[in-house]
Chains A and B, each alone.
Chain A
Amino acid sequence: QSALTQPASVSGSPGQSITISCTGTSTDVGDYDFVSWYQQHPDNAPKILIFEVNKRPSGVSYRFSGSKSGNTASLTISDLQPADEAVYYCCSYADTIPDVIFGGGTNLTVL
Chain B
Amino acid sequence: EEQLVESGGGLAQPGGSLRLSCEGSGFTFSRFWMAWVRQVPGKGLERVANIKHDGSERYYMDSVKGRFTISRDNAKSSVSLQMNSLRVEDTAVYYCTRASRPIFGVVTQFDFWGQGTLVTVST
Q: State in angstroms the CA–CA spacing of A103 and B39 once bound together.
A: 12
If the complex has contacts A3-B44, A104-B44, are A98 and B112 also in contact, measured as CB distance less than 8 A?
A: no
**How extensive is the interface on chain B, given as a class?**
20 to 34
A46 to chain B, nearest CB (A): 5
- Contact among A100, A104, A105 with B107 in the assembled complex (CB-CB below 8 Å): A100
Interface of B is mostly: strand
Chain A residues within 8 Å of chain B by Cβ, number: 25
Which residues on A sit within 8 Å (CB–CB) of B47? Answer: 99-100
Q: B61's closest neighbor in chain A, by CB? A: A99
Give the contacting residue for A98; candidates B106, B109, B111; CB below 8 A: B106
Contact B116 A45 (CB under 8 A): yes
**Once the chains bind, are A102 and B113 in contact (CB under 8 Å)?**
no
Q: Report the Cα distance A84→B110, complex, angstroms.
A: 20
